[in-house]
Amino acid sequence: MMTAHSSSLLTVEALEQSFGGVMALAGVSFQTPEKLVYAIIGPNGAGKTTLFNVLCGFYSPTAGALRFDGHELRGLPPHRIAALGIARTFQNLQLFFNMTVLENVMVGCHLRAKTGLLSAALRLPRVRREERQLRAWAAEALELCGLSDRAGQLAGALPYGLMKRVEIARALAAKPRLLLLDEPAAGLNDTETMALRDLIARIHATGVTILLVEHHMPLVMSIADRLLVLDYGSVLAEGPPVEIQANPRVIAAYLGGAVQYAV
Amino acid sequence: MRLAGFFVFAVAVILLPILFPDNYFVTVVGIAAGLHVILAVGLNLLMGYAGQISLGHAAFFGMGGYASAILTTRWEWPGWLAMLAGLLVAGTIAWLLARPILRLRGHYLAMATLGFGVIIHVLMVQATEWTGGPDGLGNIPPLNLLGWTVDSDRQWYWVIAVAMLLVIGLSLNLVDSRIGRALRAVRSAELAAQMMGIDTARAKTQVFVVSALFAAFAGSLFAHQQAFVSPDSFSLMISVELVTMVVLGGMASTFGAACGAIALTLLHEGLVVFEDYEMLIHGALLMAVMIFLPQGLFVGLTQGVHRGWTWIASRRGAKEPHHPAVS
């Protein structure tokens, strides 16, 4: 039996998020064990991205608890949550378009550096040393994401598929313990999606726990260790891919069939 | 080289008074342009890089100016100490103001900073006991730096030139650093910046304080150089001009801001001959620049040169059969 309780990195309990009476999340509970690829699926509007935004501190939940590695996330601003070791990518690209790919990824290293305003303005020797270190770290993340040859280009000038990779590289540069990927395959063609699958596997191999929101079922089923199925802001099912694929409630929700289930 | 542009600019600044001694445009207009450069480069950190507008920046310029004027005339403080006091006042007020005001965005931030600028201007006019009211304060002693008294135009040129190069150097360093990247990230995608661990409120506060400090620094120099300050030098119109300089030269470029400041200062001087039509031509020229070079003079022109260069290079490459032109 899994020892999910003892090794859970992220624990979400009875999480509720309402927007003016609309329940986007109606009591969601789950645990993400450490070093797993944990996928969250569900139809559009099921509350997947809302869940990410609550996790990241962009929304403050109406009720419930969020614990990451023993820290309560509720009430923390996003930059404090990031400092605990959570990084994410965005469904709709949030790149720094007017900066180069390398600079984007160097921003990802923000928390691993210390340079303050005054030392930066004076460009003290230790600032130069730190800049070199940041470049090396950023280069590592770019290498892992296959973007080394794009380092000097403006992020806004890249093709869409590569922009999505820059977001992943930027998030990785923060050396997160938990990486949230919000629909990384959206808008990618089949070749790019397969490459993305390899990339996620490589990232996973470095020991990062991955929380993946994705609609591309072949990708999800081939890479996720466990899945959480959301529907109308509630948990419909949770378990390993084989169980989920055989779950009649999930099939009903996805195929829109006439199978009824208790609410 | 990262600082190549800086050295070219520095050499030009040093050569000008040597090549053209006692030229009005160098020693008189040059001083005004240098002060404007300091102001515009500071405002550009806030506007161009962090993406936050300030329509009240003349207020910080004025705080530096009045701090130096009041402290040196009424209490006979040494100039450098009065300057430090001005920096302290402007920095503290900017810091206190930053958190509440920089929560606002776009038009709302423009309104709030405009209101702030108006309040400070009204204080300069109304607090007659301290500021001398609309008549201003005169007889400000010349600046004394370590026993060296700055009182001729030539000397002022050198002092302002050094101050300006210092501010440009600090700005260039800052922009190309962890802090500068954080600022640019805030402007570009604030949510993503927060998610990368950047405390965006803190980053905005810091840059607001830095730009206020640069403005106050310019204000102190201005007060000593003119030996006179009055509210007219720190009015809303001046705030608007500072914004114009940044936009005219090209946002998010230190040399763009410097270029805008110099261009606008020269434009004022150059158009004086048109007398009544000065402002008319001035406005029309600004409109033309924004229509044809929306990225600003400096940024637009350097991009144009760059594009021209690559075009020529690609033409040259196309003549050789084994190098198909790559788009």
pLDDT digits (tens, 9 = 90+) for B186-217: 999 999 999 999 999 999 999 999 999 999 99
B99 at the A interface (CB within 8 A)?
no
Provide the sign of the torsion angle of the four alpha carbons A28, B197, A174, A171, taken in this order: positive
B8 at the A interface (CB within 8 A)?
no
As assigned by CATH, the class of the B23-292 domain is mainly alpha
The whole-angstrom distance between A30's CA and the closest CA on chain B is 23
Q: How far is CA A33 from the centre of its chain?
A: 15
Cα–Cα distance, B192 to A162 (Å, whole number): 17
CA distances from A199 to A85, A231, B55, B272 (A): 20, 28, 47, 64
CB count in 10 Å sphere of residue B272 = 9
Determine the Cα angle at B132 with ends B127 and B133, to 5°: 55
Stretch B22-50: mean pLDDT? 92
Which residues are A239's β-sheet partners?
A: A227
Residues on chain A touching B174 (C-beta within 8 angstroms): 117, 120-121
The whole-angstrom distance between B199's CA and the closest CA on chain A is 6
Residues on chain A touching B199 (C-beta within 8 angstroms): 77, 79
Q: pLDDT of A13-68, one tens digit each?
A: 999 999 988 889 999 999 999 999 999 999 888 899 999 999 999 999 999 999 99
Cα atoms found within 13 Å of the Cα of residue B173, Cβ hemisphere only: 19
* Nearest Cα to Cα of residue A220 among A187, A252, A183: A183
Cα–Cα distance, A86 to A79 (Å, whole number): 10
Which one of B173, B187, B198 has the shortest CB-CB distance to A122?
Answer: B173
Token reading at B168:
């440009």
Stretch B299-323: mean pLDDT? 75
Each domain of chain B, given as residue ranges in start order, spans 23-292, 294-327
Determine the Cα angle at B134 with ends B129 and B137, to 5°: 60
* Nearest Cα to Cα of residue A194 among A176, A212, A216, A172: A216
- Provide CB contacts within 8 A for B125, sequence distance 6+: B131, B133, B134, B231
Q: Is residue B225 predicted with pLDDT exceeding 50?
A: yes
* Nearest Cα to Cα of residue B160 among B219, B207, B212, B211: B219
The whole-angstrom distance between A205's CA and the closest CA on chain B is 22
Which residues are A11's β-sheet partners?
A: A31, A67
Residues on chain A touching B180 (C-beta within 8 angstroms): 120
- Predicted confidence band at A259 (pLDDT cuts at 50, 70, 90)? very low
Q: Is the ipTM of this complex over 0.85?
A: yes
Cα–Cα distance, B189 to B200 (Å, whole number): 11
Residue type, A31: Q
Please judge whether B206 and A103 are an interchain contact, meaning their C-beta atoms are less than 8 angstroms apart: no
* Nearest Cα to Cα of residue A214 among A28, A52, A36, A27: A52
* Nearest Cα to Cα of residue A143 among A161, A164, A168, A160: A168
Q: Is residue A124 predicted with pLDDT exceeding 60?
A: yes
B178 at the A interface (CB within 8 A)?
yes
Residue with tokens 């040169």: B305
Which one of A98, A107, A130 has the shortest CB-CB distance to B182?
Answer: A107
Cα–Cα distance, B246 to B147 (Å, whole number): 36
- Provide CB contacts within 8 A for B322, sequence distance 6+: none
Continuous segment of H or E residues that includes residue A17? strand A8-19
- Predicted confidence band at B236 (pLDDT cuts at 50, 70, 90)? very high
- Provide CB contacts within 8 A for B239, sequence distance 6+: B54, B55, B56, B57, B58, B59, B114, B117
